[in-house]
Structure 1
């Protein structure tokens, strides 16, 4: 939750919301650690995807990378694995929302094949818009 708060405040999820997400049978979460031994490892990032059985759509729920691990490819790796999971769940499209004031994340998603679908005005606290993005045919994506 510390990384969640650091990465997303004031839009961070509550502990209860995060617990429900992680425990859901329809979501898959990845956690990345930095360090040679797990006992002393530092949380480097996490990411989750909602890919309900029988659905043709998947949604990237969240992705966070610790500040000292950013710009090193971890976000791309986490996203690629989420896309691969969505493809294995037979999703035909993967969706996500990203803050309009986060061009770095938007560029990452575009480089993975996502295209802009639309804008949700004032989606985030502080009146920040959300850019809705979509990846068609994740199984055919170079990212997967």
Structure 2
């Protein structure tokens, strides 16, 4: 993800997460830590033919722990394996950052995303009560110990 991707990513973000979308400042802040020799972030975009951004994801790496900050795919790309490909790339980034574990939060009512994370070896370790606002929806915290990306499930398609 580069600076010129922020506006189209925000458009997708608002479509997917209308009530708790990230602000432009949140993306800019994350991207500020994604370049240079001291980078602690990796942010990616997925483009469809024609250049439309149809997915994105981001990982923060601090002291050997990776944290999937965000991951999303356009609704018309659900079920295509795009989310799995983005997650594979984020896990590869965690390996590059020498993370010994990767954490993430997912809405307790998002069973589809939870199944994806479980396929990649994430396991529930706790809850964050009222994490998602508005609505006061709990987050399920999941953890995956370090593995090589070759251990991730295979994904068909491009």
TM-score by length of 1: 0.91
Q: Which of the residues 2, 22, 29 maps onto 2:11?
A: 2
Superposed counterparts of 1:1-144, under 5 Å: 1-24=10-33, 25-35=39-49, 40-52=50-62, 55-125=63-133, 126-139=135-148, 142-143=151-152
How many residues of Structure 1 are paired with residues of Structure 2 in the alignment? Answer: 138
Aligned-CA RMSD value: 1.4
Structure 2 Cα separation of the partners of residues 48 and 65 of structure 1: 12
Q: Per-residue deviation at 1:140?
A: 6.9
- Residue 141 of structure 1, CA deviation: 6.5
Aligned partners of 1:23, 1:124: CA distance in 2, in Å? 24
Moved over 3 A (4+): none
DSSP 3-state at the match of 2:148: helix
For 2:32 and 2:21, the matched residues in 1 are separated by: 18
Gaps of 5+ in 1: none
1 CA distance for matches of 2:114 and 2:14?
Answer: 21
Shift of 1:64: 1.0
CA apart distance, 1:9: 2.0
- Cα distance between partner residues in 2 of 1:63 and 1:121: 21
Question: Which TM-score applies when normalising by structure 2?
Answer: 0.83
